[in-house]
Amino acid sequence: MALIIPKRYKQKLLPETTEVAIKLIKDRFQKQLARELNLRRVTAPLFVLAGTGINDDLNGVEPPVSFGISCMGGRRAEVVHSLAKWKRMKLGAYGIDPGYGLYTDMNAIRTSEDLDNLHSLYVDQWDWEQTIAEENRTLDYLKQTVGKIYHAVKETEWMIYEKFPHITPRLPESITFLHSEELLQMYPDASPREREARAAKQHGAIFIIGIGSELSNGEKHDGRAPDYDDWITENSDGYRGLNGDIVLWDSVLETPFELSSMGIRVSADSLMRQLEVCHCTERASLPFHKSLLAGELPYSIGGGIGQSRLCMFLLQKAHIGEVQASIWPEEQIATCARHGIHLM
């Protein structure tokens, strides 16, 4: 999306107070998330070895930042895009029982991003993963988990209101679940982005199910790599997909606001089906994929929740650079400054 300049924008917190509020949000939300999903914090890598299949491929086209390691004969390492696969391996290594899991601070560099109000070169997330029983690989379990995450967001929003009463809550009482195919049927002439905008504006907070699966028009709502979320399994609603995105309506920017990407992870069967659909079955020979196909990894559900995005939304900021230190085009910095949007 292009840079959005809200009309008559006014910061609700000065930069110094914003720093205090950011810490309040991060401290409260991660504790609430851990409580809701029975998670414990672990330490995560900033980079992983290339060629292992561990790094997240996102939409399958974004190249990772990489570098050679002199003392390892020039082997390449990649800065993580996210930790979708690494977390599942860690669940298995720690022997974490179903219903319990882990979370971590994930820091990434995504050089392919178009920099605007919501997108930065620097990505910070709470990456989380929970072990589940095979019988919980269902749409109902996915929805229950989304509801718990949304409750944690709502609790944090209320905390901010108590600390700063002029920042009034915006989120609806509950989140609305919609499949990407339902959105297509509701708005057949609209683009995926426009469908998200109309639904998010109507409901305030939505969870779009089935990201990555092909819709009835032969297109996808959005891309998803084939080897972490399960977007091919038919669910109880008769549609495909056990994954999705949490999308809020941002009344400051008047735009849909993606907060989280998550889902039930692939089984051995759905992994192979998705690799076949995406014409990349050669990945089955990579270490991560071999472990999964051999039944060595637990069933799981997981995702990422944007830390700076959550702060931006709850503090009602107009640009992610108001809550995060990163690099921005000089023209964008100047344009924002002229309109009272001061980037860190």
CATH number at residue 289: 3.30.930.10
Q: Active-site residue 245, yes or no?
A: yes
Look at residue 1 and tell me whether its pLDDT is greater than 70: no
Q: Active-site residue 27, yes or no?
A: no
Q: Which domain holds residue 195?
A: 15-65+74-338
Span 319-339, mean pLDDT? 94
Span 112-132, mean pLDDT? 93
6 found inside a domain = no
Domain count, the chain: 1
The per-residue pLDDT for range 174-191, each reduced to its tens digit, is: 999 999 999 999 999 999
What is the reported pLDDT for 265? 97
Q: How confident is the model at residue 2 (pLDDT cuts 50, 70, 90)?
A: confident
Most confident by average pLDDT, 85-89, 109-113, 199-203: 199-203
Helix (H, G, I), strand (E, B) or coil at 160: helix
Rounded distance, CA 122 to CA 111, Å? 9
Q: How confident is the model at residue 147 (pLDDT cuts 50, 70, 90)?
A: very high
Q: How confident is the model at residue 323 (pLDDT cuts 50, 70, 90)?
A: very high
Going by DSSP bridges, is the β-strand pair 205-209/101-109 parallel, antiparallel, or unpaired?
unpaired
Q: Active-site residue 56, yes or no?
A: yes
Farthest CA pair distance, the chain: 58
Query: Which of the residues 129, 181, 245, 250 is marked catalytic?
Result: 245
Q: Active-site residue 261, yes or no?
A: yes
156 found inside a domain = yes
Query: Which of the residues 41, 258, 326, 332 is marked catalytic?
Result: 258
CB atoms within 10 A of CB 39: 20
Going by DSSP bridges, is the β-strand pair 75-79/47-49 parallel, antiparallel, or unpaired?
antiparallel
Query: Which of the residues 110, 195, 240, 283 is marked catalytic?
Result: 110
Q: Active-site residue 276, yes or no?
A: no
Identify the weakest region by mean pLDDT among 34-43, 72-81, 334-343: 72-81
Q: Active-site residue 124, yes or no?
A: no
Burial track 194-230 (b if 16+ CB lie within 10 A, e otherwise): ebbbbbbeebbbbbbbbbbbbbeeeebbbebbbbbbb
Span 221-243, mean pLDDT? 92
**What single letter denotes the amino acid at residue 292?**
L
Look at residue 59 and tell me whether its pLDDT is greater than 70: no
8 found inside a domain = no
Q: How confident is the model at residue 16 (pLDDT cuts 50, 70, 90)?
A: very high
Q: How confident is the model at residue 127 (pLDDT cuts 50, 70, 90)?
A: very high
Rounded distance, CA 188 to CA 230, Å? 25
What are the residues whose beta carbons fall under 8 Å from the beta carbon of 325, sequence distance 6 or more?
122, 344
32 found inside a domain = yes
Q: How confident is the model at residue 250 (pLDDT cuts 50, 70, 90)?
A: very high
Rounded distance, CA 243 to CA 245, Å? 7
Owner of token pair 């589940």 = 132
Query: Which of the residues 125, 270, 274, 307 is marked catalytic?
Result: 125
4 found inside a domain = no
Span 143-159, mean pLDDT? 98
Query: Which of the residues 56, 57, 229, 322 is marked catalytic?
Result: 56
pTM of the shown model: 0.93
